[in-house]
Structure 1
Amino acid sequence: MSTLPTRAKAEMAAYGASAAALAYVPSLDALPAHATAAAVSGSCVWWLYRKVKTRDFRRTIRTAQRVLGPVTGGAVYAAAAIVPGRPWWEPAAALGWGAAMSAMLPITRSTWSPPANVSAVYPPGFTGLVMRMWDGAEVAPDTWLENIEQTVSTQHPDFTAHVVAPAGKPVPRIDLVDVAACFGFPVDCVALDEIPGTGPGRMRLTVAPTTRRRGGSIEEMWAENVARPDGAIPGSQIVRVEQFTASGDLPARGMILAQVDIGKLARVNHAQLCSAFGVGPEELRLVAETRGREALVTLYESGPLKASRRATRELLALDAYGRYVIGTAHDGSDAKVHMQSAAGTLHGFLVGVTGSGKTVALALMCAAWALAGLTTWVTSARPDAQMSAVGRHIDRQDAGPVFTWWMLKAAIALMDIRGQINSEVGHDFSAHSPYPGLVLVLDEFNSLVGDENLGDEIAHMTDVLAREGRKFGIGIVFAGQSLNLSKLGGEASLRDQVQGGIGVVLRIAKSSGGIAARQATGGLAGDVDLADIPDRFNASTSLMDRMHGITDDIPGETTQGVGHTVTGSGATMMRTLYVHLPKDGSPDGLDEIFPEDGSINCLTDREIDTLTALGLWHDWTMPPSQDDQGENVMVPAQPSMIGSFTPPPTPAKPKTVKEKVLAAVDRQMTAKEIRAQVDAAAGTIRNALSDLVAEGRLHQVDHGVYAPVPASVGTGPQDD
């Protein structure tokens, strides 16, 4: 008796008291007692009837177990109350009922609450947790788990266990849906198999959300979900699988090296790959890298790029191979980019939408160039306070198409100046040249070349510099939310010039995998497949949570600076270094990454003097001058003339079809005559004629005959 839970003891005491009452109370003429007994018994019967109506067999049986005592007790009470007098069998029936209910405690115990010390029965740690979840879910009553072993590591929930039934009984049929619900994993992550050499009283349970599906190996899962023709990496085969425990700030991870057949290139669909491994793309836990026919897939226990590293001069200084650190790769290593490509160019590109950390990345690049002794000119489509802060540490920085036009004009002239210097020293630009390398940064390049007055000339000069600047130590770095190089001639050749140098792609406009990278970079990223970067880590709520009405209004951490370094045909996911660029006017951290002595790299005196003589070394925010034909020209150095420059004329806009029709109809004309003089489709001309007649700007004399509106018609204020 002392081993029974308190609720069991209370239930047995209630049965004893009820038995004593049944032996005496029914014979009394006490209407309140009769009404109370009828109400208790009737309410229990009504409750059981409601459960039967739900057609839920399991709940109905459990309810019947709970109301067994009150219903049978009410029946004994009714029988004793109906029979007159107090016959001998009434006390015997009451005592028999009490004894029967006490003996049936294992059935009625469904009403008990678990005692407070139940958890002490289970062993500590992962084993006890699994056993508690199994018993609590009642997947298979009267069974228990033994030999629980974790199969991957202590950081992963994958395990195997034996499901054991009571002696002499088999393990009942278990629905895998119930097992999956018990542990909170997808159904295809669990399996129940026979154990060789044992009877049906013991089965092997496999739960493997990380490395297994449908009880098969990682190779089988890979072949079924990843390598199939429409899979994440079609035609691939696993070469090696490795597991690594957590180390420092780097979470535990598993790595899979796969390859496709000889003569093919590995292609990765990142969203499909995340689906195959059961992780969300917004978690940024899965990283796929490709090199030719090989692909390396890394699955982390948690997002590895949530922490950012502060930039220092030591990190931004060039190493022995001409590289500097721009960020931290997903595996904790330094993410490096070359200052010069293998061909010797200083070209590159930086792409990222607003809020992706593009300005910080550009500041890091400018600091690395400054530490390497390069001169930097930066222009953008519109003024930016943060870039103006960077401009205090570099040679020249401003915004607008006029500044860009002058900057490129000066760089074109600088090629001639440096060409003369090259002929004197006997070699093209190198580390031994008597002049510094020059990097031109064109931020928001699409807007600059789209300017209606200077856009075409900006595109032309950019193209010239991108193709010929290498010999003279002049590089072009394209930057923006996306790049459209269609205005530059020979895009394929330009890509060859730019791809080998700096290549950084941060968060870009959402699209479909690698297509987004090719579109956003204007083809400069080649055919590299880049994973989409969300604006925040874990920025979405699962559909299951939404179905249950669970909403998480706490935003995830920002992904500013998370992106890829792109070189040739390879890409590495990384997060750029951090430097403080405030938006509230507080001091910035640029002094910590630019040269310690505060020096600014500039052109040589010879170059500046020559550019001054050409009228190209002045305030570049002044509009260029024009010749008699309206062409932008250079003028000799006359400081007093700079303020007298006038902007180039706005080019005439092409005439619309309506304007062409009005100009052609100078007399009474047929539609055929009008079509002969207007260069447009016949249907477009017909529609324009109808609209002009409806607007009162053209007079229809007869069917298919039109004439100008008489001068006396429509001379109201609007015409004036």
Structure 2
Amino acid sequence: MSTIDQAAPAADTPKSVPGHVIYRRVLAERTSYALAAAGIAVGPQLDDSVLSYLASGGLAAGTIAWLYAKTKDPDQGLDVITRAQRSIPFLTAAGTYLANLITPGFNWWEVLAPAAWAGLMGWMAPLTRSAGLVLELTEHQEQLADGGPREPVTYEEFLAAKWAHATGGETRLVSVQPYRADRPDFEAVIVAQAGKAVPNYTETQLAAAFDFPLGTVALRPVQGSGPGRMRVVARPTTEDTERAAEGLRGLWETAVCRPGGAAPGVQLVDYRAEAHRIVLLVASPAGKEIRLPHTAICSAFGIDDPSRLVIETDGIRMGVVSVYKTNPLMKVRKATVEDLTMDSKGRITIGICHDGKPARMRLWDPSQGALRGITAGVTGAGKSVLQNLILAAEKRSGVVSWVGDVQGGMSLPEAEGRVDWFAKGPVETLIMLTVAHAVMKYRERISNEMGRGDFALGKPWPLINITLDEINRLLSHPDEDMRKLAAYLIADIQKTGRKVGIGIRLAVQSLHLKDLGDDDAIRQQGKVGALFLMRTASSSTKEMGLDGIAPTGFQMENIPARIYENGQIEALFSGKDDEDGESTAGMAYMFLDGRAKFMRTFFAQKVDGVYPDLIELYGEDPVTGLTDGEAKVAAGAAELYTLRHSNPFADCDTLAQAFGGAKKSAGASAQSEQSDTDGDDDGGGEAAALFDAPFGAPFGAEAEPGEEPGLQDQIYTLLADGPMSLKDLREALPGFQPSSVSNACTQLKAKGLAKPVKRGVWQRDN
């Protein structure tokens, strides 16, 4: 038998083979053409000897002879056309090879011709076609070819066939929609014959029709249709949340959207069941604003933990209602360095949203500059953890962080020594704001000279973010001058600091105007940036925070102090202690870019009054400070900035206590000369001298009739009897803070009226 006969065995009758056999043969044939084409192109360039001519010519001549012989022998079982089909690749390959051999040198077509030959032969696949292979049919396909019964080939068709077989064809199962591809659960519509109603099938009949467990198949009416159409819901394996979703659809129709319900007219458009959450897509009627009262919907669904139901709207007519088995934020993880690393858009991750997405906020906005913000929440709501997360992120991102802890350093002790300026108490916080205002004016002046109207990070200044914790204590301070000055400085920085890279955040317990210096601008400007509403003590604080920024139709319920896995009412009924619940510290509604997000900050464990996890997140790198030019801003600001780590006025509640004199007008200005200090001086003397004229009466001034002498005068009088220790001086002056007595002694030294005998002991210097 010839080579050609071996390549493709003769077959008088078609041979049935599976589809993959035909595919493999065609692939092998096309691969051989590609390899042969490479040989046809390269071979003539490497060897043009007589043997090459004889081999290629012999192949062509042998093929022609074979074809001629086969046409003379009809007993072979193949007609002339089939034999010619087999000879095509051999004759054309030999002809192309001979043409390349005969042509002297190298021509471009000597490569193109073999490639074209391989492409044509691959498309024709003449050897496989001439083999007489036929695709083998399956048993099912043979039945269809013979006109036999057609078996269902999809799950939907299978269910429809089972229903028809079980009911005898009196109704049809249409619009079958499986819930998940890997489970048998589905929803469909049963259609009766024209003019007839769907029979009242029992649960047993429905379960038997699909061979599902009893009680897992139920009939429901089709909204807008008569008794001739019914909806069948089959859930033999899906989770409880999906069964609950079906129940919620019914609850929505009967208790929410009906007239007199929780949200009349708001229709349930679609819903989705997840492992621990059911998501409802709802919409108000066209032309109506969406209104979704949180408490009323919780009541309709029988939810006693309002944090298990989260409402979000587009502010027009669409909304998403998320219903959770348990509070989705009951447990959250700890923060990582990656979370607190600022991205190119100025964002960091500070927690987790209710739907599992990261809760992100901006340290600054590349398109707007520095940002403002307010965090409102009662003690224990989680403000300190949130502020520490932000401050740690700022330190790692090269931001200059200034912190005013009006509670004397007790609110954010983790930040002390880890930010550029940690001011303790109302006086130091006011001094820090004064310096910040001076730096802002300096940046404004330089920006005007440069012709710039915005802020670029690091060009030429770093971003400064000021965090003021428990600022209500300063803005509602009984000292009118301090209160007014603080309100002015904060409001002015809020209004104009953005364009020069100075942002300011307030952490408060109350948003009432009386607690914000009677300045509505402070509240309104703070809400322009990031607003965090945590657990608050009154509904008025919540409403003040939402006013002007909450999306239309949004309603927020106050976050409870504790949440319980099985609900608060069950805990009360079972007699559990309050401590058995989970604290909601860190839960908040975050308002950014016109959207409200229910979230919780990352978890942090307090140990011995501090958060070691948060301290670790600050890292060991040095903090970022002001540039040299900024540190020399104004006559008084430079000296105050150099004293920022000494906390000279941490125990002072008023400027009178800090600087020992009767307060003068806040608009007065003067400056005292600095003097060197010894080991007993804590740095307060220089700062006190700077503020002696603006806020304190000059030493030696006569007191008005009936007015008590200033602190310096009283100390100077006490020292007339000889040296006295600071301890004795403080005991003799119980009406003043201990640090104020120490500062007054330093001021007396600067004026040449007193000097330290030894550490902690003072006498007159005369």
Deviation at 1:227, TM superposition (A): 3.1
Q: Counterpart in 1 of 2:466?
A: 440
Output the CA distance in 1 between the equivalents of 2:327 and 2:569: 21
Q: Does the C-alpha gap of structure 1 residues 298 and 473 become closer, same or farther in structure 2, counting only changes over 3 Å?
A: same
Q: Counterpart in 1 of 2:272?
A: 242
Output the CA distance in 2 between the equivalents of 1:301 and 1:545: 16
Q: Which amino acid aligns with 2:502?
A: I
Output the CA distance in 2 between the equivalents of 1:434 and 1:240: 53
Output the CA distance in 1 between the equivalents of 2:201 and 2:669: 83
The TM-score with structure 2 as length reference comes to 0.52
Q: Counterpart in 1 of 2:674?
A: 639
Q: Which amino acid aligns with 1:610?
A: V
Output the CA distance in 1 between the equivalents of 2:400 and 2:593: 26
Contact 2:304 2:568 in 1 (8 A): no
Q: Does the C-alpha gap of structure 1 residues 649 and 319 become closer, same or farther in structure 2, counting only changes over 3 Å?
A: same
Is 1:402 the counterpart of 2:427? The answer is yes
Q: Counterpart in 1 of 2:560?
A: 534
Gaps of 5+ in 1: 1-150, 166-182, 184-189, 198-203, 247-251, 651-720
Residue 251 of structure 2 is aligned with which of 221, 231, 234?
Answer: 221
Q: Counterpart in 2 of 1:556?
A: 581
Q: Counterpart in 2 of 1:456?
A: 484
Report the more deviating stretch, 408-417 or 554-563: 554-563
Output the CA distance in 2 between the equivalents of 1:261 and 1:488: 44
Is 1:578 the counterpart of 2:578? The answer is no
Q: Counterpart in 2 of 1:355?
A: 380
Deviation at 1:314, TM superposition (A): 0.7
Deviation at 1:500, TM superposition (A): 4.3
Output the CA distance in 2 between the equivalents of 1:518 and 1:607: 40
Deviation at 1:338, TM superposition (A): 2.1
Output the CA distance in 2 between the equivalents of 1:544 and 1:576: 27
Q: Counterpart in 2 of 1:121?
A: none
Structure 2 counterpart SS, 1:316: coil
Output the CA distance in 1 between the equivalents of 2:431 and 2:259: 53
Q: How does 1:469-508 map to 2 (within 5 A)?
A: 469-485=497-513, 491=520, 497-508=525-536
Deviation at 1:523, TM superposition (A): 6.3
Q: Which amino acid aligns with 2:624?
A: N
Deviation at 1:422, TM superposition (A): 1.2
Q: Counterpart in 2 of 1:465?
A: 493
Structure 1 counterpart SS, 2:583: coil
Contact 1:338 1:501 in 2 (8 A): no
Contact 1:565 1:573 in 2 (8 A): yes
Show CA shifts across 1:351-408 (max 9, x none).
Answer: 1211111100000111122222211111133124451221221011133221122111
Q: How does 1:313-332 map to 2 (within 5 A)?
A: 313-332=337-356
Structure with higher Rg: it is 2
Q: How does 1:336-355 map to 2 (within 5 A)?
A: 336-340=360-364, 343-355=368-380
Show CA shifts across 1:243-267 (max 9, x none).
Answer: 12x3xxxxx2211111224555433
Output the CA distance in 2 between the equivalents of 1:458 and 1:305: 37
Contact 2:484 2:517 in 1 (8 A): no
Q: Does the C-alpha gap of structure 1 residues 545 and 480 become closer, same or farther in structure 2, counting only changes over 3 Å?
A: closer
Q: Counterpart in 2 of 1:292?
A: 315
Contact 2:341 2:397 in 1 (8 A): yes
Is 1:425 the counterpart of 2:450? The answer is yes
Show CA shifts across 1:562-605 (max 9, x none).
Answer: 222211432111110124443346x71234322x4421011111
Output the CA distance in 2 between the equivalents of 1:637 and 1:629: 15
Is 1:379 the counterpart of 2:404? The answer is yes
Contact 1:343 1:500 in 2 (8 A): no
Deviation at 1:502, TM superposition (A): 2.1
Report the more deviating stretch, 343-352 or 521-530: 521-530
Q: Does the C-alpha gap of structure 1 residues 152 and 415 become closer, same or farther in structure 2, counting only changes over 3 Å?
A: same
Structure 1 counterpart SS, 2:339: helix
Q: Does the C-alpha gap of structure 1 residues 192 and 423 become closer, same or farther in structure 2, counting only changes over 3 Å?
A: closer
Output the CA distance in 1 between the equivalents of 2:613 and 2:571: 42
Q: Counterpart in 1 of 2:95?
A: none
Q: Does the C-alpha gap of structure 1 residues 218 and 539 become closer, same or farther in structure 2, counting only changes over 3 Å?
A: closer
Over aligned residues, Cα RMSD in angstroms?
4.4
Show CA shifts across 1:44-83 (max 9, x none).
Answer: xxxxxxxxxxxxxxxxxxxxxxxxxxxxxxxxxxxxxxxx
- Percent identity between the two aligned chains: 29
Show CA shifts across 1:165-195 (max 9, x none).
Answer: 9xxxxxxxxxxxxxxxxx9xxxxxx9999xx
Q: Which amino acid aligns with 1:242?
A: R
Gaps of 5+ in 2: 1-177, 188-199, 206-214, 222-226, 229-233, 650-654, 676-685, 698-766
Deviation at 1:423, TM superposition (A): 2.9
Residue 392 of structure 2 is aligned with which of 367, 370, 379?
Answer: 367
Output the CA distance in 2 between the equivalents of 1:629 and 1:552: 59
Q: Which amino acid aligns with 2:304?
A: G
Output the CA distance in 1 between the equivalents of 2:407 and 2:545: 20
Contact 1:517 1:525 in 2 (8 A): no
Deviation at 1:483, TM superposition (A): 2.1
Output the CA distance in 2 between the equivalents of 1:383 and 1:161: 74
Contact 2:372 2:494 in 1 (8 A): yes
Q: Which amino acid aligns with 1:469?
A: G
Q: Which amino acid aligns with 1:420?
A: R
Output the CA distance in 2 between the equivalents of 1:516 and 1:628: 34
Q: How does 1:78-227 map to 2 (within 5 A)?
A: 162=202, 218=248, 221-227=251-257
Show CA shifts across 1:640-668 (max 9, x none).
Answer: 45345669589xxxxxxxxxxxxxxxxxx
Deviation at 1:330, TM superposition (A): 1.3
Contact 1:386 1:582 in 2 (8 A): no
Q: Which amino acid aligns with 2:511?
A: L
Show CA shifts across 1:71-114 (max 9, x none).
Answer: xxxxxxxxxxxxxxxxxxxxxxxxxxxxxxxxxxxxxxxxxxxx
Count residues in correspondence: 454
Q: Counterpart in 2 of 1:668?
A: none
Q: How does 1:16-31 map to 2 (within 5 A)?
A: none
Contact 1:266 1:292 in 2 (8 A): yes
Q: Counterpart in 2 of 1:84?
A: none
Contact 1:340 1:501 in 2 (8 A): no
Output the CA distance in 2 between the equivalents of 1:483 and 1:550: 37
The TM-score with structure 1 as length reference comes to 0.55
Output the CA distance in 2 between the equivalents of 1:479 and 1:540: 33
Contact 1:349 1:498 in 2 (8 A): yes
